[in-house]
Amino acid sequence: MSGRSVPLEIGTAVGAADEHHVQVRGLDLVDDLIGELTYTEVALLAVTGRRPTPAETKVVDAVLVSLLDHGLTPSALAARLTFWSAPEAIQGAVAAGLLGAGSVLLGSMEGCGRLLTDLADDLADGVATGAEARDAVDTRLRAIVDAGGRIPGLGHSLHRDGDPRAGKLLAVARDQGVAARHVEHLELVVERAAALTGKALPLNATGAAAALLLEVGVPWRLHRGFALMSRTAGLVAHVGEELESPIAPAVRAALRAASRIEPEV
Amino acid sequence: MSGRSVPLEIGTAVGAADEHHVQVRGLDLVDDLIGELTYTEVALLAVTGRRPTPAETKVVDAVLVSLLDHGLTPSALAARLTFWSAPEAIQGAVAAGLLGAGSVLLGSMEGCGRLLTDLADDLADGVATGAEARDAVDTRLRAIVDAGGRIPGLGHSLHRDGDPRAGKLLAVARDQGVAARHVEHLELVVERAAALTGKALPLNATGAAAALLLEVGVPWRLHRGFALMSRTAGLVAHVGEELESPIAPAVRAALRAASRIEPEV
Amino acid sequence: MSGRSVPLEIGTAVGAADEHHVQVRGLDLVDDLIGELTYTEVALLAVTGRRPTPAETKVVDAVLVSLLDHGLTPSALAARLTFWSAPEAIQGAVAAGLLGAGSVLLGSMEGCGRLLTDLADDLADGVATGAEARDAVDTRLRAIVDAGGRIPGLGHSLHRDGDPRAGKLLAVARDQGVAARHVEHLELVVERAAALTGKALPLNATGAAAALLLEVGVPWRLHRGFALMSRTAGLVAHVGEELESPIAPAVRAALRAASRIEPEV
Amino acid sequence: MSGRSVPLEIGTAVGAADEHHVQVRGLDLVDDLIGELTYTEVALLAVTGRRPTPAETKVVDAVLVSLLDHGLTPSALAARLTFWSAPEAIQGAVAAGLLGAGSVLLGSMEGCGRLLTDLADDLADGVATGAEARDAVDTRLRAIVDAGGRIPGLGHSLHRDGDPRAGKLLAVARDQGVAARHVEHLELVVERAAALTGKALPLNATGAAAALLLEVGVPWRLHRGFALMSRTAGLVAHVGEELESPIAPAVRAALRAASRIEPEV
């Protein structure tokens, strides 16, 4: 099969390389980045195209740390089971775990990021008074609730009285001087959601994380991507434990017991 | 379908949670980690079970930064094409990109990590003289070459005269006082590989990264996992660019041109 | 890490096994299925819970065949690039290819299946007259168009004058006596979409496939699953060709050329 | 970001398309394949490049049916957990399930296919006598056992007295006149493995499947690909059941119970 020569017009501004250099966003990887910046700094540089400030880096480190692990989650189990049956390909195990970062679990980050982005657009012209901001939030929340949806970023099935990570994330943002209008809008969302639904719906970690990522300039469409960076580390830790103390055999035995052929009566 | 109740005996030492707390390796996520440690520190804590020193953290940051992006790689393209056709699921796009971190590309890290681990075992008893170490390296390298394999961690198809990232990684490790026997063995591998094969086989970034990860206590089986953490950030950056300046349509057009039905002659 | 014993209540009606038997949907795999039924028959049995008729099988075979390959698609390329860099894990290459079966490409099947399911619900009570059916279709299509969406199952970026697979799929369904209300509704959708938008929007293969799957009892939420079965075979064929005549090196070279460091002027 | 125009030389013999036609291996999809051939026939056509005989098709259908489901396997669970948390992306759930088809579970097919291919090479010249064949098998098996490996295709952790699927697969191949030297070599492998190890190591389904795929011309490197086609159908069935009767919540509750924070004593 000979193939054909076809023209292809493509390019990227993320990174570049030649025989002697590698660049990320125009900075020299060797001279400017390796040993000079942290993972979090270069991740932000690659995603946003500009070098983050120390305060922004601290806030994003807090976000990445907050979602890194949550014990034996379904996605940690998916990664461990996959690693056990395909130990030659740790990338497959991690990928299987990441594929669970969908609309139900970590994806709420994306939903909250979108809501806050919409609110920022709603309130972009001039300084909104408290009443104007409240009305904008009410309109957005009512639209979600009327459509039968859940307000993203609020509530948690385990941390029912409040997600302990959320408050700490906002505190870090305030300490670093990074909390601004998105955090303000988020607090209004929490307040109005309680008023509107009559239920206590405390802020969760993904909601707080979304506000912080917006404050540092990460668009909502990429919020779930930061959850993926974070979880990758947690999944590698779980795969490492599976190497030493596998849980897959016990899970497999339980699954077999649960799907045994029922004796006819 | 009613289901059955089966007993399941499992547990993890990576993380834990209850209504009011989340722990990673026994440390409180809120009090001890969020806002206190960086992503890289908590990733190392989760994987190794102990809090890294500042020097170790700096070395692992260097490793994570060095592999974060390399321009338009095949795996960046796989992620971008996947995102273009399934934009509702960024986790799928990132997973598709990570699945390319196999034995040919980033997997060489694992191979080099294994070789250095074997050498450390070979030379574990007492202080090896230079000659003993050289013999151990020669034996291992000859076994690889005789089996038709490539010496892992050496050579690069683009950086033919030397991978600029490799030297910087070793320099960071030395600066931080983290370079010890694994770096020493790696340098011997480079020297003896040239002697044995008669070819210049300069150290590449994955080889240097493997030595540094061993120095900080990450077992070779998890080295590729650190490449996954690193690449996840780069892939998110590429997906972000695909949102703004998609290359998938041009690639698709080129693929269609290349697989058009040939007119019969 | 000792672990704890926790109770787990689960079960499945899909399949079961013990030391001497395997069952799928209550039928014995060895006595009733292997060598007795085809892949397509057992796939339908597993998914729907009942053994399909010969006519239903013929229709689903047509659906599976119609989407099996379409030359060098982006997902075929993603699979081939992944295989080239991770040849030890063909499952990763196929998974990377399948992850592209999203809302933009094969996912339109799901959208069309949902539209036809909604229409069947709208028109469920009694026999709809032509006018009633037309009104129901117009209402649904207008809602989609007003929300800025594209009518699923219609149009194709390559087959602009009409997707040759679509007509053949409907013909097979008619020949087999399987075409009923869903096919009828689909034809009305095609007719009314043209009237409403003033554009020729010919039926495509995923639209026809959705109608046929509904006729045989596959709910729309699983339609994309049949596209996955189909594409898996095509992706394996592409991986097989990559083993013999790899295209990944040429793609990689082009990508490198496109992301080389620009010389400063 | 403007991009550059780079030349790309690629092509494929698997499939092709233009505005009015789609071809698979040079046959017209609409005229020759849809409604004319089954999924299994076109899958084989795409992979091997030639149209299979009815007997070959029957044998491959038996292979695909035999591996389609095995109750609640770890990979079925991984798919179901992934679907539960990312229901918008069924392709991710199926991909997560397929990623478990590695060296430990379905991958043994590949190992057995490789062993049988090696034996066919060993014995390629002229007609081997029984003694020659036995010696060739003994040499190959001893090499595996001496290297600490397990003989692929033999033994099963649940079906300890014999995998009921294996015998039926061989029977189908014989009935169809497809069983030839690879089946013969496989039977010799079973016989000699028992003699060499002193243990009863009955043939399992993946071993029999490998022999049958070789008989119809599928190279061993693609055997796992047929397991993927087969499992995709089973995974779609499990995802469909998860939609109706989810098991993920019970699994998640058990995981949470197992990773709760231990009260200090």
Give Dmax over CA atoms of chain D in angstroms. Answer: 75
Would the ipTM clear 0.90, i.e. be above it?
Answer: yes
Higher pLDDT, C194 or C200: C194
pLDDT higher than 70, residue D190: yes
Average per-residue pLDDT in chain C?
A: 94
| Residue D180 at interface with chain C, using a CB cutoff of 8 Å | no
Give CA separation, A59 vs A50, A209, B232, in Å: 16, 9, 19
Interface contact A245-C1, CB threshold 8 A: yes
Helix, strand, coil share (%) of chain D residues, nearest 5: 60, 5, 35
For residue C138, the model assigns a pLDDT of 96
B130-153 tens-digit pLDDT: 899 999 999 999 999 999 999 999
Separation in Å, CA of D47 to nearest CA in chain B = 17
For residue C116, the model assigns a pLDDT of 97
For residue D264, the model assigns a pLDDT of 64
- pLDDT, mean of residues D111-136: 88
| Residue C195 at interface with chain D, using a CB cutoff of 8 Å | no
Interface contact C10-B3, CB threshold 8 A: yes
Structure tokens at D206: 């993946």
Contacts of C146 by beta carbon, 8 Å cutoff, 6+ apart: none
Beta bridge partner(s), residue C9: B5
First to last CA, chain B: 61
Query: Most D CBs within 10 Å: which of B29, B77, B82, B259, as the mutation test of the D interface?
Result: B259
D214-253 tens-digit pLDDT: 999 999 999 999 999 999 999 999 999 999 999 999 999 9
Separation in Å, CA of D48 to nearest CA in chain C = 8
Contacts of B140 by beta carbon, 8 Å cutoff, 6+ apart: B115, B118, B119, B122
Which residues of A are less than 8 Å from D86 in CB distance? Answer: 99-105, 107
For residue A104, the model assigns a pLDDT of 84
| Type of residue numbered A259 | S
Query: Most A CBs within 10 Å: which of C6, C9, C261, as the mutation test of the A interface?
Result: C261
Contacts of C263 by beta carbon, 8 Å cutoff, 6+ apart: none
Cα C248 from Cα C45, distance rounded (Å): 38
| Residue A61 at interface with chain B, using a CB cutoff of 8 Å | yes
| Residue D131 at interface with chain A, using a CB cutoff of 8 Å | no
Phi and psi for D203 in degrees, rounded to 5? Answer: -60, 140
Give CA separation, A196 vs A79, A201, D13, D150, in Å: 39, 11, 61, 63
Question: DSSP string spanning C37-66?
Answer: S-HHHHHHHHHHSSPPPHHHHHHHHHHHHH
C62-76 tens-digit pLDDT: 999 999 999 999 999
Give CA separation, C222 vs A203, C226, D236, in Å: 34, 7, 7
Query: Most B CBs within 10 Å: which of A34, A50, A58, as the mutation test of the B interface?
Result: A34
Q: Is B6 helix (H, G, I), strand (E, B) or coil?
A: strand
Instruction: Answer positive or negative: Cα dihedral of B97, B102, B108, B114.
Output: positive
Which residues of A are less than 8 Å from B98 in CB distance? Answer: 91, 94-95, 98
Separation in Å, CA of A172 to nearest CA in chain D = 25
| Residue B195 at interface with chain A, using a CB cutoff of 8 Å | no
Give CA separation, A25 vs A29, A44, B58, B60, C200, in Å: 9, 11, 22, 21, 44
Q: What percent of chain B has pLDDT over 70?
A: 97
Which residues of C are less than 8 Å from B8 in CB distance? Answer: 5-8
Cα B35 from Cα B13, distance rounded (Å): 22
Nearest CA in chain B to D247: B3
Cα C228 from Cα D91, distance rounded (Å): 7
Beta bridge partner(s), residue C7: B7
Size of interface A-D (CB pairs under 8 A): 171
| Residue B238 at interface with chain A, using a CB cutoff of 8 Å | yes
Contacts of B153 by beta carbon, 8 Å cutoff, 6+ apart: B108, B109, B111, B112, B115, B186, B189, B203, B204, B206, B207, B208, B210
Higher pLDDT, C128 or B221: B221
Minimum-distance CB partner of D74 among A7, A102, A255: A255
Minimum-distance CB partner of B20 among A34, A164, A245: A164
- pLDDT, mean of residues C186-194: 96
For residue A192, the model assigns a pLDDT of 96
pLDDT higher than 80, residue B2: no
Question: What strands, in cross-sheet order, belong to the sheet with D22-24?
Answer: D15-17, D22-24, D27-28
Reported pTM = 0.96
- pLDDT, mean of residues D54-62: 98
For residue B4, the model assigns a pLDDT of 83
Phi and psi for D59 in degrees, rounded to 5? Answer: -65, -40
- pLDDT, mean of residues B243-249: 96
**Residue D127 pLDDT grade (very low, low, confident, very high; cuts 50, 70, 90):** low
Size of interface A-C (CB pairs under 8 A): 70
| Residue D93 at interface with chain A, using a CB cutoff of 8 Å | yes
Interface contact B87-C103, CB threshold 8 A: yes
Q: Nearest-CA neighbor of C220 among C150, C104, C120?
A: C120
The answer to whether the CB of D52 falls within 8 A of the CB of D62 is no
| Residue D2 at interface with chain B, using a CB cutoff of 8 Å | no
Interface contact B3-D247, CB threshold 8 A: yes
Nearest CA in chain C to B256: C72
Pairing of strands A27-28, C22-24: unpaired
| Residue ranges of chain A with per-residue pLDDT less than 50 | none
For residue D213, the model assigns a pLDDT of 98
